[in-house]
Amino acid sequence: MHQAPTFLLAALVTLGPNSLPAQTETAVQIRISGETCLIGNLDVPCSDVGAKLRELGTPLDAHIHLSGNTHASYRATSAAIDSLRRAGFKLKMGLINVQPQ
């Protein structure tokens, strides 16, 4: 009966604190405004978004939130999505429509 807690304690000591690395999720917010995209404070052409994120060391499984204002064009949005795909980012698409208030 006392062997189970002793075994668990021994296993934890053996594994040490580095055995289970912390899983952190990277989230990136990209805003499309007109014909350019904003990544934080960086204003880049939407066709270069994927390459810029790779250059910045963004993991390919990062959570990328792409949003556009009322001036975002279809061409800019499409260019950003294509750029992310070409750069190897995994995309899960969702669409949220909000009516102006």
Query: What domains can you pick out in the chain, each with its CATH number?
Result: 25-93 (3.30.420)
Q: What is the DSSP pairing of strand 63-68 with strand 42-45?
A: unpaired
User: Who wins on pLDDT, 12 or 87?
Assistant: 87
For residue 18, name the pLDDT band (cuts at 50, 70, 90): very low
72 Cβ contact list (under 8 Å, min separation 6): 32, 33, 34
For residue 35, name the pLDDT band (cuts at 50, 70, 90): confident
33: helix, strand or coil: strand
pTM above 0.75, yes or no: no
The four Cα atoms 23, 24, 25, 30 give a dihedral, to 10 degrees, of: -160
pLDDT > 90: percent of the chain: 48
User: Cβ(84)–Cβ(91) under 8 Å?
Assistant: yes
**Mind listing the pLDDT tens digit for each residue in 39-64?**
989 999 999 999 999 999 999 999 99
For residue 98, name the pLDDT band (cuts at 50, 70, 90): low
* Poorest-pLDDT segment among 8-12, 72-76, 92-96: 8-12
